[in-house]
Amino acid sequence: MGRVPDPVVVELANDISAIEKAVENFVQWCGRACPDRRRLLLNFRVGLTEALSNAMLYGNGDDPEKTVLVELSIDGGDLHVRITDQGRGFDPSSLPDPRTPDNITKPGGRGIFLMRQLMDEVRYNASGNSVTLVMREIVGRGPLRRP
């Protein structure tokens, strides 16, 4: 187990079948830095999965020729992960509430809602093709480490 550069930067192929393994790698990188297992295994794991699937399916249009960039860092005790796709972006400001009676029976529309519920902060760049997820005060015991 060795210390890895902070931030960790990984370029992922645009392949939704690889999301599970990629997320598990990031979870292990954060393991020592984030001793709160529930925040790591629920909030971070699901939030990151949502961000990656949005980037691959919608941002990159499920195009296998494209990639997704993931940058992971700890800043002042907060965990930041930025996910950037190669798409044209979108407007995340006007998404419907998936919990309303009209929307709750629809199969889609919960991804960004879940990210916002599970992470302490979710912010997009101006064009909407890059999202930063923040978990605050993770009270780390150490740096990001390669498992």
Partner 1 sequence: MAFTVRQEGNVTVVEVEGQLIVGNRQELKQRVLDELDGGGKNFAIDFSDTGYIDSSGLGVLVSLSKKIREQGGELRLAALNEDLRTLFELTKLDTLFQISDDLAGALQGF
Residues in Cβ contact with 2 at an 8 Å cutoff, skipping those fewer than 6 apart: 145, 146
We find the least distance from the C-beta atom of residue 3 to partner 1, in angstroms, to be 27
Per CB under 8 A, contacts with partner 1 among 52-71 are: 53, 57
How would you list the strands of the sheet with 78-84, edge to edge?
8-13, 67-75, 78-84, 130-135, 121-124
102: helix, coil or strand?
coil
Task: Check residue 110 for interaction with partner 1 (CB under 8 A).
Answer: yes
Task: Check residue 114 for interaction with partner 1 (CB under 8 A).
Answer: yes
**For partner 1, what does the binding mask look like between residues 26 and 55, x meaning CB under 8 A?**
------------x--xx--xx--xx--x--
For residue 136, what are its two tokens?
């605050």
| Residue ranges in contact with partner 1 by CB under 8 A | 16-20, 38, 41-42, 45-46, 49-50, 53, 57, 98-99, 104-108, 110-111, 113-114, 117-118
